[in-house]
Structure formats: C-alpha cells, structure tokens
Structure 1
Amino acid sequence: MSDLSVANIMAMRATMLDRNASLRGLLPATSRSSPTDSEIGAKPLSGFASTLQTAIQNVNTTLEQEDVATEAYERGETTDIATVALLQARSSVNFEATLQVRNKLLTAYNDIMNMQI
C-alpha cells in the first residue's frame, strides 16, 4: 500500500494542478461558431474532446495491462499476486471514475436539453 502514501498523493495532486494549468492555456482567446464535420475531421481534436479521449485511452490501457497481468498469473508465468491485485484495483478505480464522468456528462446534457428558452 505504499502507493497511497501522503507524498504520492501530494505528487499526484501537483501533477493534476499542473495539467489543469496547462489546459487553461489551451483555451482559445476568441470564441467562434461550432466547427462543421469537415473541420473536425481536418484537424486534431482540441480542448475538452482531446482531454476526454486521452483519459479514455489511458483507462483502456490500464484495463489491458490488468488483463495481461491476470492472465500471466493464471498461467503461472508470474507469482507476484500483490502486483496483480494492485493492477486490478487501479483498473477498477479508473473504470468507476470513467463511469462517474459519463454519468455527470449525461446529467449535464439532460439539464441543458430541458432548459426553458
């Protein structure tokens, strides 16, 4: 359980704050109308969409690592159950966090759609 030490948590917090500050720098200075479908396909995603896509790719990578470690343990290729358990716990937390973000996004979308104009 050394991953949950105060120093590691503070380091993760500092990393998150640095990412937040860098994301603020990505915001465009001027607002413009929504891009068309051809514009979206022509240039890379930016802002919230790319951040969300990156986060989902990271969760997928974590789930794949957990699957590989679990299968290696089941085949007897590794005997380190602590690493396997840690990877399973990490992937479970990542997946649950992704579900919570999805639920919040759906709630926000429904709230916007139900607004009176």
Structure 2
Amino acid sequence: MSDINVNHILNQMRSLSLQAAGKPVQETGGSTDFSSLLQQSLASVNETQQRAGRMVDAFESGASNISLAEVMVESQKANVSFQATLQVRNKLVEAYKDVMNMPM
C-alpha cells in the first residue's frame, strides 16, 4: 500500500475543477460535507441551464447582441453539465445498490 492521502487528492481535484470553472477556490482543511458539494453542483448545473434558456429566449425574440453561435455554445454547456450530473447520479445509485446487496 502507498501512503497517498485520499482526502488531499480529492481536495486537489475539487480545486482544479473549480479553477477550470472559473470559480474561487476555498480550502476546506480536508473535511467537506458531501451533501453541500452535491447541492452546489446541482445549483451550478441549474444555473447553466437557466442561462442557456435565457439566451435561447433572447435570441428567439430577436436580441441583436446575442449570436447563434453563443446560444449553441451555451446550450451545449448546459447539455454537457446535465449529462455529467446524470452519470454521477447513475454511479451513486449503482454504488447504493452494491452496498445494499452486500452480505452481512
């Protein structure tokens, strides 16, 4: 076995993910509440979808400051974030089923 600290690696991954999304990075000191991370992720996906919807509505109503390319990119961002969230949900359900089927 190696002496890799899993919490440290997870914190690094979260920091890199937040940096890639352009959000400020907050050090948690190794302790993070899973439910709050899940809520933040869902809120972020929701905001992305809401922003894409607003852009589509604005483009359809003839706003001159929004191009079709911008609308398509924002829609694809919303789609990718939703699909990633769906895959995380599927993995969580699969893990839950695995735990529930473990013999006692």
TM-score > 0.5 by shorter chain: yes
Q: How does 1:37-116 map to 2 (within 5 A)?
A: 47-78=33-64, 79-116=66-103
5+ residue gaps, structure 2? 1-13
CA RMSD of aligned residues (A): 2.6
TM-score (norm 2): 0.72
Q: Choose between structure 1 and 2: higher helix proportion.
A: 1
Task: Confirm or deny: 8 A CA contact 1:26 1:47 kept in the other structure.
Answer: no
TM-score, normalization: structure 1?
0.64
Whole-angstrom distance in 1 between the partners of 2:101 and 2:25: 30
SS in 1 for 2:75: helix
Q: Radius of gyration: which is bigger?
A: 1
SS at match of 1:100: helix
Q: How many residues matched? A: 86
